[in-house]
């Protein structure tokens, strides 16, 4: 029977470290204005996996939030309060249209999403991929 949580998050951390290294070479730029974390205003749905949400919730408590508002509850004063734990979808999103395409390729068609899925498969964890506000 499949489990719900990983016993060890080191494989998730390794994936994030690899991605951050790759993105640092592309250097898409972000002034951390927090606009894209207001999902409705930005017209954006942040998808993620259950294992990434579990990793966040093992490290921080989600603030009370109204899912209908569709603003990331981890955004405070337009700053991400969980930067070290944020999910793949946050790490690869850049509003710059040029880099948006590149980072989408890196994320969707390249290895990182599949790596995360493989962590779930290998560790016999259930895999769900859905809007973050539904998984919280």
> Is residue 92 involved in binding ligand SF4 (CB under 6 A)?
no
> Is residue 80 involved in binding ligand SF4 (CB under 6 A)?
yes
> Is residue 31 involved in binding ligand SF4 (CB under 6 A)?
yes
Q: Is residue 92 a contact partner of residue 22, using CB atoms and an 8 Å limit?
A: no
> Is residue 94 involved in binding ligand SF4 (CB under 6 A)?
yes
Helix (H) or strand (E) holding 48: strand 47-49
> Is residue 62 involved in binding ligand SF4 (CB under 6 A)?
no
CB neighbours of residue 54 within 10 Å = 17
Residues 115, 108: Cα–Cα separation, whole Å: 11
Nearer to ligand SF4, 2 or 60 (CB): 60
φ, ψ dihedrals at 25, nearest 5°: -75, -35
Among 51, 53, 86, 106, binds ligand SF4 (CB under 6 A): 86
The site for ligand SF4 (CB under 6 A) is made up of 30-37, 46, 72, 74-75, 80, 82, 86, 90, 93-95
């Amino acid at each position: 029977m499949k489990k719900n949580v990983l016993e060890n998050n080191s494989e998730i951390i390794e994936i994030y470290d690899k991605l951050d290294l790759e993105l640092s070479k592309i250097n898409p730029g972000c002034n951390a204005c927090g606009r894209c974390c207001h999902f409705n205003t930005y017209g954006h749905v942040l998808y993620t996996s259950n294992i990434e949400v579990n990793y966040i919730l093992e490290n921080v408590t989600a603030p009370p939030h109204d899912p209908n508002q569709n603003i990331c509850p981890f955004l405070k004063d337009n700053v991400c309060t969980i930067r070290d734990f944020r999910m793949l979808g946050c790490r690869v999103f850049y509003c710059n249209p040029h880099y948006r395409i590149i980072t989408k390729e890196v994320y969707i068609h390249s290895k990182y999403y599949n790596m995360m899925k493989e962590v779930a498969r290998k560790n016999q964890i259930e895999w769900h991929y859905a809007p973050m506000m539904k998984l919280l």
